Amino acid sequence: MFMPKPLHAFALAVTLGSGAAVAEGPNLGRPIDPADIAPWDISILPDGTGLPPGGGTPAQGERIFAQKCAMCHGERGKGGVAAAVVGGGPIDRIEAPKTIANFWGYSTTVFDFIRRAMPWQQPRTLTDNEVYALTAFILAENKLIGQNDSMNADTLPKVRMPNRDGFIIRFPDEI
Amino acid sequence: METTPDKQDLERLEAVAGNGLLDRRAFLRSGTAVAGAMMGYTFVRSAAAERLAEEPWSLAPGGISRPYEQRSHFEEKIVRTLSNPNGEPRTSHARTPHHLVNGTITPNGLHFTIVHSGTPDIDPDKHRLVIHGLVKRPLVFTLDSLSRYPMVSRFSFVECGGNSAPMFSKEPIQASVQALHGLASCAEWTGVKLSTLLDETGIDAKAKWIVAEGADSLALSRSFPVKKALDDAMIALYQNGERLMPGNGYPMRLLLPGYEGNMNVKFLRRLKLVEQPAMSYYETRTYSQILPNGKAFRFYFLQEVKSFITHPSPGLALRGPGFYEISGIAYSGNGRISKVTVSADGGKSWGEAALQAPLLPKAFTRFRMPWRWDGGPAVLQSRAWDEAGNVQPTRAQFVAERGETKEVPRVLGFPNQHYNSLTSWAVDAKGEVKHVYA
């Protein structure tokens, strides 16, 4: 992943040669190619930026969920030792449980969190297709998409979450 | 040994508010008289003075020095309380015992920690920090390379957005200050300013946010504004002079002074500059709190001005009528604490507390208030102001705006986030202290 020294020096020379000014300072950071960052570059933005190729359907996700998720999140995501990922009551009190269906503002967060953090014991072992399929299954069980809707980089960001406009930025001046 | 204070000295002390609160300068004016009469808080009544004697430890050479000092074994019970002692697959909280420490710096072993999927055991030589995205030059740093950069030190509190969450309960939950407010601590952090590193990567003009990510199993991720990165953000490598404790992010963490604890991403391995926030799990769910009208605050960021009394507090009983020092901590994510007032009569009257120097921005400030307890019922409260002019809201003001729970929550639950209103301790005739709403 990291360049050996001579190549590093060469890359720096190229960078300097390209006209970019390097700030005064220790300059001890090593330049790195985006391809070498890819294994860690897993952030998904709400407009879909960062979503990988591939896709999956609720039916595919249902099978994976039963196999890899239900032991904690319960059958069909209705809750177990870990939180339910399906359902949710009204936001009728300040301590109301926040669920994907009643609270989450963006569908991309579902994909992002599954891909980075799940399954609990073996995070980042799911394929992108599996993550799409699980996302599709959870969204479909929550009736946020149809049972036959495939989720991919194009369709997922277009899923409108019910509570999308339920938020107030607390301190806009900080942004 | 007990000093008998000059009774006339004590009677001359000026009361500044009801129920025995004295002028904060009383110590200076009356010197040893008040100091000698001051009583401590204790779990047990201490014995009367006896004839002095030599003890065994004074009559033989002591133990050997250790390479890394340990506190006295008499202090071993001063510990954090654990919400998940068996490491079940869920979040683990360890709370600071504010009532059993003093000053403003939290010892490293007592600094609160929250880990959402356990504490990773990171080999510092293999750890990497990459800065990429909307930069001119993506760069990777090792701990060794960062250790060669110019460093800065600053004192900063870190507070979980869910600290004091039991205070949202519609009825006061009987619990210690550790249980109620133990998810806040303060340390001296030393590291490299993030702006120094961003000078070297360069910033694309389109970049407005940075997504920070940890090397823990959740790859915990939060977004924060580039504006904060260029202000006072730090890649912290040292905590009170030594490398970070594992639970505080070893070998490096993001420090965003004054911002919600969860944003100070621990085990920091990646910073990606982007145009829009990632709307990660923790920013769009956990720390976005529901308001009474059903809407929710997002991007709360600032931990607002707050204070609470640590001495006395539940579990620390008073040893009979007499002189005590009320003390506690105050802090604000908006800067320095400018004033703290204390009431001993449930908010009817207030006196200004002494603030222990140095007064540092976004750090704990210790306040102190001399008090002559007459043995009758008292309700102690503190209220803080910060230099930006913000004042800690009364409970009535806070509840009107932010609401309270319909049911009484579990003491370890998080019914809501970002509580910064007052805390009230009722002292009964026996000197026992209880949590009340006043």
Other beta carbons within 10 angstroms of residue B297's beta carbon come to 18
User: Which residue do the tokens 């370890």 mark?
Assistant: B412
Complex confidence, ipTM: 0.90
Whether B310 is in a domain gets the answer no
Whether B397 is in a domain gets the answer no
Q: Which chain B residue shows the shortest CA-CA distance from A125?
A: B217
CA distance B294 to chain A (A): 6
CB of B280 within 8 Å of any CB in chain A? yes
Total number of domains in chain B: 1
CA distance A141 to chain B (A): 19
- A30: containing domain: 5-40
Find which of B116, B256, B288, B291 to mutate to test the A interface (most A CBs within 10 Å of its CB).
B288
Q: What is the pLDDT of residues B341-380, one digit of tens each?
A: 999 999 999 999 999 999 999 999 999 999 999 999 999 9
Candidate from A25, A32, A43 with C-beta closest to B221: A43
| Shared domain check, A60 and A27 | no
Helix (H, G, I), strand (E, B) or coil at A25: coil
* A144 Cα distance to chain centroid: 17
* B115 Cα distance to chain centroid: 17
Question: Do A44 and B278 make contact, defined as CB atoms within 8 angstroms?
Answer: yes
The CATH number linked to B276 is: 3.90.420.10
Nearest-angstrom CA–CA distance, B251 and B254: 11
Total number of domains in chain A: 2
Whether B315 is in a domain gets the answer no
Find which of A14, A15, A175 to mutate to test the B interface (most B CBs within 10 Å of its CB).
A175
- Statement: residue B274 has pLDDT above 70: yes
| Shared domain check, A10 and A75 | no
Could you tell me if B352 and B383 are in contact, meaning their C-beta atoms sit under 8 angstroms apart?
A: no
Nearest Cα to Cα of residue B385 among B300, B304, B303: B304
- B255: containing domain: 128-172+184-286
- Statement: residue B396 has pLDDT above 90: yes
Question: Do B299 and A104 make contact, defined as CB atoms within 8 angstroms?
Answer: no
Beta pairing class for B268-274 and B113-115: unpaired
| Shared domain check, A64 and A24 | no
Whether A170 is in a domain gets the answer no
| Shared domain check, A102 and A154 | yes
| Shared domain check, A92 and A36 | no
CA distance A148 to chain B (A): 26
Eight-class DSSP state of A23: P
Q: How many helices and strands, by DSSP H and E, does chain B display?
A: 9, 26
Candidate from A34, A42, A166 with C-beta closest to B219: A42
CB of B397 within 8 Å of any CB in chain A? no
Q: How many helices and strands, by DSSP H and E, does chain A display?
A: 6, 4
Question: Do B407 and A95 make contact, defined as CB atoms within 8 angstroms?
Answer: yes
Whether A140 is in a domain gets the answer yes
Mean pLDDT of chain B: 94
- Statement: residue A37 has pLDDT above 90: yes
DSSP string of B145-205, one letter each residue: HHTTS--EEEEEEEE-TTTTGGGGSSS-----HHHHH-SEEEEEEEEEEHHHHHHHH-B-T
Question: Do A94 and B409 make contact, defined as CB atoms within 8 angstroms?
Answer: no
Whether B102 is in a domain gets the answer no
Q: What is the pLDDT of residues B182-223, one digit of tens each?
A: 999 999 999 999 999 999 999 999 999 999 999 999 999 999
Nearest-angstrom CA–CA distance, B179 and B189: 25
| Shared domain check, A76 and A144 | yes
Candidate from B132, B149, B299 with C-beta closest to A169: B299
Q: Which residues of B touch A175 (CB under 8 A)?
A: 208, 225, 227, 299
| Shared domain check, A71 and A23 | no
Q: Residues B71, B158, B285, B386: is their CA dihedral positive or negative? A: positive
Mean pLDDT of chain A: 90
The CATH number linked to A125 is: 1.10.760.10
Whether B293 is in a domain gets the answer no
Q: Which chain B residue shows the shortest CA-CA distance from A20?
A: B136
Whether B435 is in a domain gets the answer no
Nearest-angstrom CA–CA distance, B340 and B355: 8
Whether A65 is in a domain gets the answer yes
Q: What is the pLDDT of residues B150-170, one digit of tens each?
A: 999 999 999 999 999 999 999
Whether B92 is in a domain gets the answer no
DSSP string of A95-150, one letter each residue: TPPP-TTTT--BHHHHHHHHHHH-STTSTT-S-HHHHHHHHHHHHHHTTSS-TTPP
Nearest-angstrom CA–CA distance, B19 and B143: 55
Tell me which of B181 and B44 has the higher pLDDT.
B181
Give the per-residue pLDDT at B12: 65
Whether B347 is in a domain gets the answer no
Residues of chain B numbered 111-140 and touching chain A (CB < 8 Å):
117, 130-132, 136-140
